[in-house]
Amino acid sequence: MLMAGASASAVQANPIRKVVGMLQAMQGKITAEGEKEQELYEKFNCYCQNGDGALSKSIGEAETKMPQVTADIEEAEAAVTQLKADLKSHQTDRAAAKAAMAEATSLRAKEAGEFAALKAELDANLAALAKATAAIEKGMAGSFLQTSDAQVLKKLVLAEESMAEYDREELTSFLSGSTSYAPASGQITGILKEMADTMTKNLNDATDSENQSISAFDGLMAAKTKEVNALTKSIEEKSVRLGETQVNIVEMKEDLDDTGKALLEDKKFLGDLSANCALKAKENAANQKMRSEELLALADTIKILNDDDALELFKKTLPGASAFMQMSVSAKDQQQQALAIVRAAKGHGRPELNFLALALQGKKVNFAKVIKMIDTMTVTLKKEQQDDNNKKEYCEMQFDAADDKKKGLERSVSNLEKSIAKEKEAIATLADEIKALQEGIVALDKSVAEATEQRKEENADYSELMASDAAATELLGFAKNRLNKFYNPKLYKAPASAVLADVSAHNGVAPPPPPATAAAFSKKSEESNGVIGMIDIMIKDLTKEMTEAKTTEKDAQGDYEQTMSDSAEKRALDSKTLADKTKAKAETNADMEAHGEEKAATTKTLMATHEYIASLHAECDWLLQYFEVRKEARTGEIDSLKTAKSVLSGADFSFVETARRSLRGQ
């Protein structure tokens, strides 16, 4: 019965001992904070003495840098304006050169047709003249008049305006076969030969003129082709320079904005430096005074709680001290179960699950906050899946559209307008993706900062716990040894003088002496074994708690480091993707402008379409290949989060309020 009563007393006294240990830990923590705060203040004070020089230097550098960056931006914008003007001029000149080539080709074709018709006519006429002359000279004029060549010659004679009227009548009579007129054959052949000479001369003149036209046409086409090629090369080079310059302007403007903000902050801080330093000195003095008063209050409180009469009173007024420890088991199991589910679902490159695991593994877990994080994560995963669905649909649609566009370009240059529409859509898509990436990077940085702050708080809690438990263990050992000195002298271990001095300084005053009457000592000696046993149990519990805390801290630090590594990797990848998409947006915009002005350049546009299809493969092939794998992985993650939420939703939070009431003595 005595052992049972002692055990019950030990359990009942446990909260008070913890309160005493917490007070002792608070003393140590306050002292350590005071030393740390004083060290920080000394550094700040040193900065107050020397910081104005560093700030002035920073301000001077920023003021020197900003005009230079502004000048660079203006120079780059002027270069962009000049490049656009050059591109427009080159494209106009190239279009004019191609139009001149087309006009020259059309004129050359017309002249060649006219020459061919003239030559055919002259060749036919010369052939008819030659046959007529030969027939007359051989005395076969009658048989010649029966041929088709005679009819050709007759038409020629009637149509020839430059022929003398007398000669026309002579030839007409001859070709008509009139019996009333028979001119001398010599006179007829003379007229025919004269006509043949004239026609031959006309044919030679026409041939020379045709050859000169061909030579002039070849020279013009060669010069214009060279001009078009040179203009095309200039357009391509300046288009690339235009895109790069526009990207550089964006980067320089961002740098100028950041420098301006930093300059304003430095100037404001420099202006407030004296006031801030005086305010910090005043705050430091007030903090030291307040800390001294707090330490005094804690020492007085410990003295009160350590009083034997007070301890007896607490034993009577605080029954059931072990209830809190038992009630916390269920919630802790649920916490660990949910943590295991989340860890099993974690994958490399998704720091959001790491943040959720970090939130679950701390001692001060807010289940409502964790459930909200799970809901947010579930929404994010569903949104990512919807984005993949949209992207897959977009990619498939773009592949089909690009293929149709390629075929259409081979048929008609008018389909270039479709290419412009596609590029506008791509620019809008890239703009949305760039905005999403920028927001994602900001959100990731915020999560990293929150995780870092949480890690600091958990580490501070761990340090506080270790300090508290160590102080409590030391205090309990000192109390046990003090009890043994009185009740079990053989088990008493005399402490070193330095330790006693530290304990005395720690508590402020020496512990009160035991009662002087033998009867009082006799009554308490029967209870001493139970008290010492209770102290041993408490020391064992504290040692176990410290061991578990070390393991938890080690695991939390490892998870935190892995989270930071994954976050850094994701941020680097997103930053690279952001830069690539920004560059791609500028290049796509440049292509769109070039295509709008080159509707006649079908071959050039077709090549650009092939390049666009290749870029679609680079952008979409990976997503299309791993779409089902990514979808299945996200489904698994969502199911795991739902399971973890179900586990946490079943937790009983009443133990938190019970524990608080137990510790507060309510």
> 3-state secondary structure string, 327-357?
HHHHHHHHHHHHHHHHHHHCCCCCHHHHHHH
* pLDDT band of 542, cuts 50, 70, 90: confident
Q: What is the pLDDT of residue 233?
A: 92
Q: Return d(Cα 124, Cα 286) in angstroms, integer.
A: 124
Name which of 583, 426, 590 is nearest 84 in CA terms.
590
Place of tokens 């913890």: 18
Q: What is the pLDDT of residue 71?
A: 92
Highest mean pLDDT among 335-349, 383-397, 637-651: 383-397
Q: Return d(Cα 259, Cα 89) in angstroms, integer.
A: 38
Please compute, for residue 299, the number of CA atoms within 13 A of its CA located in the half-sphere on the CB side.
17
Q: Return d(Cα 298, Cα 291) in angstroms, integer.
A: 10
Q: What is the pLDDT of residue 598?
A: 67
Highest mean pLDDT among 43-52, 126-135, 492-501: 126-135
Helix (H), strand (E), coil (C) string for 443-493: HHHHHHHHHHHHHHHHHHHHHHHHHHHHHHHHHHHHHHHHHHHHHCHHHCC
Q: What is the pLDDT of residue 530?
A: 67
Tokens in use for 367? 């289940």
Q: Return d(Cα 259, Cα 505) in angstroms, integer.
A: 54
Q: Give the Cα-Cα-Cα angle 523, 526, 529 (nearest 5 degrees).
A: 140
Q: What percent of the chain has pLDDT over 90?
A: 10
* pLDDT band of 300, cuts 50, 70, 90: confident
Q: Answer with the residue of higher pLDDT: 189 or 141.
A: 189
Q: How many residues does the chain have?
A: 666
* pLDDT band of 503, cuts 50, 70, 90: very low
Please compute, for residue 521, the number of CA atoms within 13 A of its CA located in the half-sphere on the CB side.
12
Do residues 16 and 317 lie in contact, with contact meaning Cβ atoms separated by under 8 Å? no
Rounded to an integer, the average pLDDT of 265-273 is 77
Rounded to an integer, the average pLDDT of 106-129 is 86
Q: What is the pLDDT of residue 505?
A: 37
Rounded to an integer, the average pLDDT of 472-480 is 80
Is residue 6 scored above 70 in pLDDT? no
Q: What is the DSSP string of 503-539?
A: HHHHHSSPPPPPPS-HHHHHHHHHHHHHHHHHHHHHH
Is residue 211 scored above 90 in pLDDT? yes
pLDDT digits (tens, 9 = 90+) for 151-172: 777 777 777 766 767 667 777 7
Burial 196-220 (b: 16+ CB within 10 A, else e): beebeeebeeeeeebeeeeeebeee
Q: Answer with the residue of higher pLDDT: 456 or 149.
A: 456
Is residue 357 scored above 70 in pLDDT? no
Q: Which of 214-218, 591-595, 625-629 has the lowest mean pLDDT?
A: 591-595
Q: What is the pLDDT of residue 182?
A: 45
Helix (H), strand (E), coil (C) string for 368-409: HHHHHHHHHHHHHHHHHHHHHHHHHHHHHHHHHHHHHHHHHH
Q: Which of 175-189, 440-454, 461-475 has the lowest mean pLDDT?
A: 175-189
Q: Answer with the residue of higher pLDDT: 316 or 300.
A: 300
Rounded to an integer, the average pLDDT of 480-494 is 74
Do residues 645 and 373 lie in contact, with contact meaning Cβ atoms separated by under 8 Å? no
Q: What is the pLDDT of residue 72?
A: 93
Is residue 212 scored above 90 in pLDDT? yes
Q: Which of 333-342, 523-532, 574-583 has the lowest mean pLDDT?
A: 523-532
pLDDT digits (tens, 9 = 90+) for 51-81: 677 778 888 888 898 899 999 999 999 999 9
Do residues 351 and 444 lie in contact, with contact meaning Cβ atoms separated by under 8 Å? yes
Rounded to an integer, the average pLDDT of 25-54 is 79
Q: Answer with the residue of higher pLDDT: 401 or 343.
A: 401
Q: Which of 281-290, 339-348, 637-646 has the lowest mean pLDDT?
A: 339-348
Is residue 469 scored above 80 in pLDDT? yes
Q: Answer with the residue of higher pLDDT: 602 or 83.
A: 83
Greatest distance between any 2 Cα atoms in the chain: 188
CB burial class (10 A; 0-12, 13-18, 19+) of residue 438? middle
Tokens in use for 144? 């010649």
* Radius of gyration for the alpha carbons in the chain, expressed in angstroms and rounded: 51
* pLDDT band of 215, cuts 50, 70, 90: very high
Is residue 347 scored above 60 in pLDDT? no
Q: Return d(Cα 78, Cα 68) in angstroms, integer.
A: 15
Q: Return d(Cα 458, Cα 453) in angstroms, integer.
A: 9
Q: Answer with the residue of higher pLDDT: 90 or 144.
A: 90
Name which of 145, 125, 122 is nearest 135 in CA terms.
145
pTM above 0.85, yes or no: no
Q: Return d(Cα 230, Cα 235) in angstroms, integer.
A: 9
Do residues 303 and 507 lie in contact, with contact meaning Cβ atoms separated by under 8 Å? yes
* pLDDT band of 293, cuts 50, 70, 90: confident
Q: Which residues contact 642 (CB under 8 A, 6 or more apart)?
A: 378
Q: Which of 4-18, 101-115, 189-203, 572-586 has the lowest mean pLDDT?
A: 4-18
Q: What is the pLDDT of residue 314?
A: 53
Q: What is the pLDDT of residue 411?
A: 72
Q: Return d(Cα 118, Cα 114) in angstroms, integer.
A: 6
Q: What is the DSSP string of 129-148?
A: HHHHHHHHHTT-HHHHHTSH
Q: What is the pLDDT of residue 29?
A: 81
* pLDDT band of 364, cuts 50, 70, 90: low
Burial 159-168 (b: 16+ CB within 10 A, else e): ebeebeeebe
Rounded to an integer, the average pLDDT of 243-271 is 85
Cα dihedral angle (80, 83, 89, 92), rounded to 10 degrees?
A: -90
* pLDDT band of 665, cuts 50, 70, 90: very low
Residue type, 8: A
Rounded to an integer, the average pLDDT of 595-613 is 73
pLDDT digits (tens, 9 = 90+) for 623-654: 788 888 888 887 887 887 788 778 777 644 44
Name which of 542, 609, 530, 585 is nearest 2 in CA terms.
530
Task: Compute CA distances 185 → 132, 140, 147, whole Å.
Answer: 11, 11, 18
* pLDDT band of 379, cuts 50, 70, 90: confident
Tokens in use for 469? 């438990």
Q: What percent of the chain has pLDDT over 70?
A: 72
Q: Answer with the residue of higher pLDDT: 567 or 20.
A: 567
| φ, ψ for residue 401, nearest 5 deg | -65, -40
* pLDDT band of 621, cuts 50, 70, 90: confident
